[in-house]
């Protein structure tokens, strides 16, 4: 990496945006209360020779991470627990982000919430289910919010208040087998448009007896990859005034129809769908790593599960005549349920502050591929040395400089749900994009109109 690497990364990170959705919840276990001596004396425990030391506050941290991500999260939890004696973090792992949110919803209803969850939900924050964090942040003198990448921090604000903290940033990038491209004389630097990628996928696809046995590319199941491609063509979900749903525009129909064609007619691409938790995701990764597909579109956080002796990474392409790609980049957020006790909330904030420290966010980035959330992490010697030896680590950062912001659904998820249904119709049921998107637009517009009444 050139001598300008620090300023280079600084520009990248400050331009970044990135993050998600997902969640967790349940505490109320023994050991979660504050020191009873303090409670009995109004917070001022008298010092006596026989007084027992204060018990640590035990909190649950809910998250839906598997594979290497889960392993690295456990490493940092263990590191935090052994670094001090005030707080004990108990990990509670779900299959994925969606399961965490469902369980958190039930926990909120029963008022047996965890103190910390890898989750963000704007609608729930407005309903009072999450605690505002501004006072907690102010009570942590070492936290320094100015050092947090501001585009990430902003994504955690709801109506001007900080409700969520960015644990890491993510964006969808392209991973490809180096041998598959070399075999066909294809150079990754030439795959700057979806048209070029589709042509390359067709060349790399292998069919036997009319059946595809080696796929040229594998998009990830769901609306996300196709929405990224729409943004890169200039499409929008809502009009600038926020009153009209635009998901049946030519940019949407043309883009989604191409994906349907590539998957169902040309059979040069495929998706894995269904299964438990992240099963479909890891099946997609396995296809590439086991030599059954040339490449796939996945998270920057997949880098901890990949062998870069076999694969390499590149940015998402744009479209001919439309410029570089503009995929979404976002921050994965964590929150503190409002029903947690004040002691538990303070304990959760200590855990988040530890996770977001320059050293630990750099560790997370190096070991997972996700983007560090503190600008000072870029000065971490280990991070600098790692980036020089692992150029794939810079791809998410480069892409983030021209990424799109994540969509904030004003209907509380109804528009997003309509797009998920439409994506399944196109990707799985082979329904023409125009038909699927028209139905989705009608549903989404109806929900948006209700919000305006």
pLDDT tens column, 414-423: 999 999 999 9
Domain edge (last residue) among 400, 418, 435: 400
Residues 357 and 393 in one domain: yes
pLDDT in the model for residue 183: 97
CA-CA-CA-CA torsion for 86, 26, 71, 223, nearest 10 degrees?
Answer: -140
Answer left, alpha or beta for residue 313, where phi above 0 means left and psi between -120 and 50 means alpha: beta
- DSSP, collapsed to helix, strand or coil, labels residue 190 as helix
Q: Which residues of the chain have pLDDT under 70?
A: 1-53, 453
Same domain, 71 and 12: yes
pLDDT reported for residue 2: 39
The answer on 277 and 371 residing in a single domain is no
Give the number of other CB atoms < 10 A from CB of residue 360. Answer: 20
20-23-27 Cα angle (round to 5): 160
Which of 274, 273, 302, 277 has the alpha carbon at shortest distance from 288?
A: 302
Per-residue pLDDT, 392: 92
Chain-centroid distance of CA 172 in Å reads 9
Same domain membership, residue 210 and residue 317: yes
Task: Tell me how far apart the alpha carbons of residues 312 and 283 are, in angstroms, rounded to a whole number.
Answer: 18
Place of tokens 């998107």: 437
339 and 321 co-located in one domain: no
pLDDT attached to residue 52: 52
Looking at the structure, tell me whether residues 158 and 94 fall in a common domain: yes
Q: Residue 169: beta bridge partners?
A: 331, 371
Give the structural domain span for 342. 5-42+50-170+330-400
The pLDDT assigned to 263 comes to: 98
* pLDDT, position 64: 95
CA dist 133 and 161 (Å) reads 8
At residue 173, the 3 state secondary structure works out as strand
The pLDDT assigned to 51 comes to 55
Res 103: pLDDT: 97
Q: Quickly count: other Cβ atoms within 10 Å of residue 150's Cβ.
A: 15
The dihedral built from the CA positions of residue 235, 397, 351 and 137, taken in this order, carries a sign that is negative
The alpha carbon dihedral of 130, 134, 135, 141 has a sign of positive
Based on its alpha-carbon atoms, the radius of gyration of the chain, rounded to whole angstroms, reads 23
| Rounded Cα distance, 97 and 68, in Å | 16
Select from 362, 379, 400 the last residue of a domain: 400
Token pair, residue 90, equals 């108990």
185 with 231, same domain: the answer is yes
pLDDT at residue 53, rounded to an integer: 59
* Domain shared by 321 and 334, yes or no: no
160 and 186 together in one domain:
no
- How many structural domains are present in the chain? 2
218: CATH? 3.40.190.10
Same structural domain, 189 and 229: yes
| Same domain, residue pair 270 and 338 | no
- Strands (DSSP E) along 249-328, which ranges? 295-299, 311-314
Looking at the fold, whether 179 and 165 belong to one and the same domain comes out as: no
Please state, in angstroms and as integers, the Cα–Cα distance from residue 3 to each residue in 6, 15, 262, 380, 384, following that order.
Answer: 8, 20, 43, 15, 11
Cβ proximity of 168 and 357 under 8 Å: no
């Amino acid at each position: 990496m050139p001598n300008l690497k620090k300023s280079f990364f600084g520009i990248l990170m400050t331009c970044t945006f990135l993050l998600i959705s997902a969640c967790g919840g349940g505490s109320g276990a023994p050991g979660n209360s504050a020191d009873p001596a303090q409670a009995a004396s109004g917070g001022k425990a008298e010092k006596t020779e026989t007084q027992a030391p204060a018990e640590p506050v035990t909190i649950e941290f809910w998250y839906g991470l598997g594979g290497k991500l889960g392993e690295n999260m456990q490493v940092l939890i263990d590191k935090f627990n052994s670094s001090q004696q005030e707080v004990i973090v108990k990990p509670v792992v779900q299959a994925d982000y969606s399961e965490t949110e469902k369980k958190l919803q039930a926990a909120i209803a029963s008022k047996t919430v965890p103190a910390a969850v890898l989750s963000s939900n704007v609608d729930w924050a407005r309903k009072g289910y999450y605690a505002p964090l501004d006072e907690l942040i102010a009570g942590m003198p070492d936290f320094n919010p100015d050092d947090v990448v501001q585009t990430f921090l902003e994504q955690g604000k709801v109506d001007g208040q900080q409700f969520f903290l960015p644990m890491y940033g993510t964006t969808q990038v392209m991973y490809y087998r180096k041998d598959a491209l070399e075999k066909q004389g294809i150079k990754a630097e030439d795959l700057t448009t979806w048209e070029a990628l589709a042509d390359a996928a067709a060349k790399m696809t292998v069919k036997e007896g009319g059946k595809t046995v080696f796929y040229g590319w594998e998009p990830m199941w769901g609306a996300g990859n196709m929405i990224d491609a729409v943004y890169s063509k200039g499409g929008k979900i809502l009009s600038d005034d926020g009153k009209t749903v635009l998901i049946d525009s030519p940019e949407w129909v043309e883009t989604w129809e191409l994906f349907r064609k590539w998957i169902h007619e040309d059979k040069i691409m495929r998706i894995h769908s269904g299964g438990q938790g992240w099963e479909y995701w890891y099946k997609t990764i396995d296809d590439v790593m086991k030599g059954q597909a040339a490449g796939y579109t996945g998270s920057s956080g997949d880098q901890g599960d990949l062998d870069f002796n076999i694969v390499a990474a590149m940015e998402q392409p744009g479209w001919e005549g439309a410029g570089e790609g503009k995929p979404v980049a976002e921050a994965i957020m964590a929150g503190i349920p409002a029903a947690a006790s004040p002691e538990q909330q303070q304990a959760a904030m200590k855990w988040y502050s530890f996770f977001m420290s320059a050293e630990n966010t750099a560790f997370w980035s190096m070991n997972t591929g996700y983007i560090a959330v503190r600008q000072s992490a870029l000065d971490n010697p280990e991070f600098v040395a790692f980036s020089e030896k692992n150029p794939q680590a810079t791809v998410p950062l480069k892409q983030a400089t021209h990424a799109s912001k994540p969509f904030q659904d004003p209907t509380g998820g109804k528009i997003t749900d309509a797009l998920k249904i439409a994506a399944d119709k196109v990707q799985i049921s082979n329904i023409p994009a125009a038909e699927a998107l028209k139905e989705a637009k009608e549903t989404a517009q109806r929900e948006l109109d209700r919000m305006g009444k």
